[in-house]
Amino acid sequence: MIRIGQLINGEKSTSSDSRTGPVFNPATGQQIAEVELASTADVAEAVTVADAAFIEWSGRTPINRARVMFCYKQLLEEHAHELAELVSREHGKTLPDALGSVKRGIEIVEFACGIPQLLKGEYSANVGSGVDSFNMRQPLGVCAGITPFNFPAMVPLWMFPVALACGNSFILKPSEKDPSCPLRMVELAHEAGVPPGVLNVVNGDKEAVDALLQDHRVKAVSFVGSSPIAQYIYHQGAANNKRVQALGGAKNHMIVMPDAETDRTVDALIGSAFGSAGERCMAISIAVCVGDKTADRIRDGLLEATSKLNVGPYTDPDADYGPLNTKAHLNKVLGYLDSGEQEGAKLVADGRDISLQGYEEGYFLGPCIFDHVKTDMTIYKEEIFGPVLGIVRTDEYGEALSMINNHALGNGATLFTSNGGVARHFLERANIGMVGVNVPIPVPVAYHSFGGWKQSLFGDHSMHGPEGVRFYTKLKTATLTWPAGENAGPEFSIPVLS
């Protein structure tokens, strides 16, 4: 049995007496590895070496750190298929989907290569007589990232490349469900020139998370996961005087207007709702159709399209999506299907009868579609995080927009229409952090920032892009002058511009 441990100070370690957790292949349901769960002492060791390594790393010039990021980008590109294989084996998503997530993560590294431009600050000459002022952005110190199972490559790359390029040291706590890819990416970072101790990995569970939140030497914590845990991370981190960005769950809506093109809309819903088995924080899980005629044609198109989807293991090159990540999560999603039927929604596509020869123990679920979903139903209010799409029927656009704005979660939303006026109104009035028009998944590119509103984001800063740089740095402002002539004596009033 493969045993996965920690990577601290550039060295991998395993211990025979550590607590462990199982790592499964979701397609077969078989355990393929065990991962050590870091203790409080393990985390303290990682923080100690990261704190010591910060001094030299933060003292390097921004361009020196950027050159390391350039080398890292090249190594990630060379090993992209290897990383995708690791993702697929432990997460379950198809190889093309896994490779796409790796490439999206590499785009963040590419952004990090240009961070010196964002660190240079501003300068104002003669703010007073012979007085100049300028500001600079400086690193925080030891930062930590706690990342989810659904994107074991992309989400860590949202965090540590930006943090490192800004001059911080970093401790990554990836999901214990699929730890191999994050560990390999950190090895490649060391190969690219990141010094030992600057970037470390601690695998673990709540004990490791709490240790990071409580250690006063950790200055900032980044998190992506469910909203209840995001809220916990935010409040615990803030109570310990840390800067926190905690991205939570989502219930992303797509408003479908009567003038939306049917085929294009159906294709967008299929890819967004069922890609990666719906285990995406930007997946569309609710289609709000304006008018019964709109709902009927979208539903009919979805039923025809989903009947042709191929669900299978990542080793199947024709698979459209794979299994859910764990048996427990599969059972949770099945519970939502029961709840939806009990509360009166119509399950018009039922994926529970799927059976794959040779993969009977895998965590597979075919595409599921509910029609006539109401806003008071559990399947509408809560994030399901599976291949389940709900159709809500409404009479007019204003009601559809109100549904989005009244939902507790505000990660992403999109609108499909041919009307520019409606689109403009939606972009301005949707109370959502990331919005799109005629796009299925409104995910920002690397040089913009990712983050929702309401209970989808706890903290003031989104991830990567300019907001990521602001999160991983602190602003310092300097005011200076030089002696010229005789000393005029002490000044007791607040200086004013002249």
Q: What is the strand order of the sheet 199-201 is part of?
A: 11-13, 6-8, 199-201, 169-173, 142-146, 218-224, 243-247, 457-458
246 pairs with which residues across the strands?
223, 458
The dihedral of CA 17, 23, 28, 29: what is its sign?
A: positive
Instruction: Fill in the DSSP letter of residue 443.
Output: P
Helix (H) or strand (E) holding 123: strand 123-128
Give the residue numbers marked as catalytic.
281
Alpha helix (H) residue ranges in 356-497: 378-381, 397-406, 420-429, 465-471
20 pairs with which residues across the strands?
36
Contacts of 476 (CB under 8 A, 6+ apart): 135, 136, 137, 138
CA separation (Å) from 37 to 61, 201, 220? Answer: 36, 11, 22
Alpha helix (H) residue ranges in 442-490: 465-471
The dihedral of CA 274, 279, 282, 287: what is its sign?
A: positive
If we measure between CA atoms, which residue out of 478, 452, 488 comes closest to residue 467? 452
If we measure between CA atoms, which residue out of 163, 226, 251, 233 comes closest to residue 459? 233
